[in-house]
Amino acid sequence: MELLQLQYFLVVARLEHVTEAARSLHVTQSSLSKTIQRLEEDLGVPLFDRIGRKLRLNEFGSRFLHRAERALFELEQGKQELSDLSSPEHGTLELAVTTASTLPNILREFRKKRPYIQFHVQMLTTQEMITLLHRGEVDFCLSSPPIEGDDIECQIVFIDPILVAVPKGHRLADRSSVSLTELRDEWFVGVKRGYGTRDFVDSVCKSVGFVPKYVYEGDEPARLSTLVEAEIGIAFIPSTARYSREHIKYLQVENHELVREIALLWHRSRYISRAALEFREVVVEYFEAISKQTI
């Protein structure tokens, strides 16, 4: 059994399609099919049920996938550990976020300490983040809501109040606070379902008797303030994502504890480099400083 066979198997198992897997791996379909066939011959069992070019993991394949992922995960951790030992001042941090508003400040502070460490950051939905966490493919995730799991470490770093952003000409703009029930007839701009803050706010609104009506649903939380300013709709915006804009008023929510928890997450078995440990310290210190400012 060869390492290349396992790597190809993981991609095919995740995509369950020969053409897409070959494209992802930058190899020909015939080469990929032969590699998978040799692996099945080595194991003595078929790993897939074949329907044209579409593949589906069978029971043998599903059981082997778990073991193969674990084996390749351990090899990758060993590779990272050796890289950290041989060149601790260089490397790349793999980061994923569902909440990106605080990330630029955090990265700026970290870069002061580790100027030669590079970053690769992905903005993901909660479910996408869970998938990468379970695979051990990221060093850290900054997530709201927190995510629990047997192989996931979760550290709550900040309790973030969620505010209501309205344009200056809005009927509520002269208020400092508003009840949720007063918003039942409003039009909202927001991120799509699947993002933690959106799902949480929708559930709280539903508990008081209404479902928010959205005129805009997107993947870029930072764009919401611009849309509010343009009077397209109002928005629920966490305090850490609040921008000081002349034409937007931010209101507290009355009678409900509308807050989100921001958590730092990592895979329990993933090797944590010295640079990654310092990044975690920067994150904790950053949110501690914000907490002191809001007291």
Q: What is the DSSP string of 91-102?
A: EEEEEEES--TT
Show Cβ contacts of residue 171 under 8 Å, excluding neighbours closer than 6 positions: none
CA dist., res. 83 & res. 90, Å (int): 9
The type of residue at 109 is: E
Cβ(190)–Cβ(228) below 8 Å: no
Show Cβ contacts of residue 198 under 8 Å, excluding neighbours closer than 6 positions: 190, 191, 192
pLDDT tens figures, 100-117? 888 999 999 999 988 888
Mean pLDDT (the chain) is: 89
pLDDT tens figures, 5-20? 999 999 999 888 888 8
Looking at residue 179, what is its pLDDT? 95
Answering whether pTM is above 0.75, one says no
pLDDT tens figures, 153-198? 999 999 999 999 999 999 999 999 999 999 999 999 999 998 888 9
Show Cβ contacts of residue 163 under 8 Å, excluding neighbours closer than 6 positions: 236, 237, 238, 239, 242, 250, 251, 252, 253
| Domains defined for the chain, CATH in brackets | 3-74 (1.10.10.10), 88-157+261-294 (3.40.190.10), 158-260 (3.40.190.290)
The closest alpha carbon to 158, from 112, 245, 99, 104, belongs to 99
Exposure pattern of 120-151 as b/e (b: 16+ CB <10 Å)?
eeebbbbeebbebbebbebbbbbbbbbbeeee
